[in-house]
A = this chain, B = another copy of it.
Amino acid sequence: MGNSFGNLFKLTSFGESHGISIGGIIEGCLPNIKIDFSLIQDELKRRRPGQSNITTQRKEEDIVEFQSGFLEGKTTGMPIGFIIKNSDHKSKDYSHNSDVYRPSHADYTYDNKFGIRDYRGGGRSSARETAVRIVAGAIAKQILLKLNISFHAFVSEVGNIKIESNYSKLDLTLKNIESNKVRCPVQLKAVEMQSLIENVKKKGDTIGGKITCIIKNTPIGLGEPVFDRLNAELAKAMFSINAVKGFELGSGFDCVAMIGSEHNDEFYIENDVVKTRTNNSGGIQGGISNGEDIYFNVAFKPVATIMQKQKTINTNNENVELMGRGRHDPCVVPRAVPIVEAMAAMVILDYYLIQKSKKL
């Protein structure tokens, strides 16, 4: 348990940050679909370390090597096996941590849970594992694009700098997401965010952030009530990503202060198309997509590794001090944008396939 995600479209993953490779198996991929492999590699580049001065300076090429599941560029319906070799592990960077539990890291809990800990760079708990999700998500996105379904995640908040506009006002700006290092579609905010991240980095500190994701053109009817609601699966998908502390759909936590007459999304019909006047539901009602934009926010905590002295304990249960080392991200959200999209795409394709089984 724990290494698979999805039901009919399913990813099972393996790999630690400092093992030989990370990789996965994708099951349930539709057969007979032409895949553009360069688009998968492009998605990996969006997540790759070392892409700019505001991400970690570790170097990983992150080249995916497919082992199975394709014939002459098309999917065969067979499981897609793939590996991504770990090229730049530099175990030395991490060996000094082998007997210390880093604060707000997973060292302590892994060691207690398993009775053994892979101290090399966090082992399995490293975010390096998310590269595998990118591969599965990139395939899901290609397939869903044939149905016109598209995914638009972006950084909407870093520290106290935030995009103020409602999600629905951002449509024209979404094309800018990749135009800056932060992946914020509002250019002025992007500049401020970048500056903030650089300042935090200089102090050897890190900072939190928020990603918003908009999914367009999801067909009506995806979601399996009552326990496997589409929103419940999206919540789990997002909370399965390292450093996530919050998830909200549509009106989200703002709904607490709202009254029903204001929060309800009235239906109307115009030119034979059913729409809602507002979208506080975030495109999901009763756990099922209603055809409107799905949008949600994901909160990411500041990266736990800081270049400052911290108090902690070691594996002998002694109080000690720890000085951070290594090459880490000062803020995780710029690189987490494609991960959010990948997880969302896996959910939507999986639930799309499930919905296919409702008719004889």
Minimum CB–CB distance from A243 to chain B (whole Å) comes to 9
B226 and A313 contact, CB distance less than 8 A: no
- Asked whether A360 and B118 contact (CB < 8 A) given A264-B103, A311-B268, the answer is no
B80 and A14 contact, CB distance less than 8 A: yes
- Complex: A22 Cα to B289 Cα, angstroms: 25
Inter-chain contacts of A261 with B (CB < 8 A): 205, 306, 308, 310
Residue of B nearest to A29 (CB): B358
Interface residues on A, range: 35 or more
- Asked whether A269 and B318 contact (CB < 8 A) given A260-B205, A357-B356, the answer is yes
Minimum CB–CB distance from A347 to chain B (whole Å) comes to 11
B236 and A232 contact, CB distance less than 8 A: yes
Inter-chain contacts of A118 with B (CB < 8 A): 71, 76, 78
Inter-chain contacts of A137 with B (CB < 8 A): none
Stretch at the interface among A44-52, A164-172, A182-190, A244-252: A244-252
A302 and B68 contact, CB distance less than 8 A: no
- Complex: A33 Cα to B299 Cα, angstroms: 38
Inter-chain contacts of A75 with B (CB < 8 A): 116
Minimum CB–CB distance from A352 to chain B (whole Å) comes to 8
A357 and B357 contact, CB distance less than 8 A: yes
B357 and A8 contact, CB distance less than 8 A: yes
**Contact check: which of B117, B267, B303 meets A103 at CB < 8 Å?**
B267
- Complex: A1 Cα to B233 Cα, angstroms: 12
**Contact check: which of B108, B226, B311 meets A3 at CB < 8 Å?**
B226
- Asked whether A68 and B19 contact (CB < 8 A) given A247-B246, A256-B210, A269-B317, the answer is yes
- Asked whether A20 and B313 contact (CB < 8 A) given A2-B226, A15-B81, the answer is no
- CB of A215 within 8 Å of the partner chain: no
Stretch at the interface among A53-61, A173-181, A280-288: A280-288
Residue of B nearest to A156 (CB): B256
Inter-chain contacts of A289 with B (CB < 8 A): 109
- Asked whether A248 and B12 contact (CB < 8 A) given A76-B124, A114-B76, the answer is no
- Complex: A74 Cα to B83 Cα, angstroms: 22
- Complex: A250 Cα to B207 Cα, angstroms: 16
- Complex: A297 Cα to B256 Cα, angstroms: 11
Minimum CB–CB distance from A27 to chain B (whole Å) comes to 5
- Asked whether A239 and B246 contact (CB < 8 A) given A14-B68, A110-B286, A114-B76, the answer is no
**Contact check: which of B32, B210, B258, B268 meets A116 at CB < 8 Å?**
B32
**Contact check: which of B206, B223, B245 meets A252 at CB < 8 Å?**
B245
- Excluding A22-B81, A208-B263, 18 further A-B contacts by CB distance (< 8 Å) are A2-B27, A31-B115, A113-B222, A143-B360, A147-B360, A159-B256, A205-B261, A235-B235, A236-B239, A246-B248, A246-B255, A248-B248, A260-B303, A264-B310, A266-B310, A268-B312, A272-B317, A274-B313
20 A–B pairs (Cβ distance < 8 Å), ordered by A: A2-B226, A3-B226, A13-B226, A20-B66, A25-B25, A103-B266, A103-B267, A104-B264, A104-B285, A105-B286, A108-B267, A205-B260, A208-B257, A228-B240, A229-B240, A232-B239, A256-B299, A263-B301, A266-B312, A356-B356
Closest 5 CB pairs of A and B: A106-B286, A14-B81, A2-B224, A246-B248, A206-B260
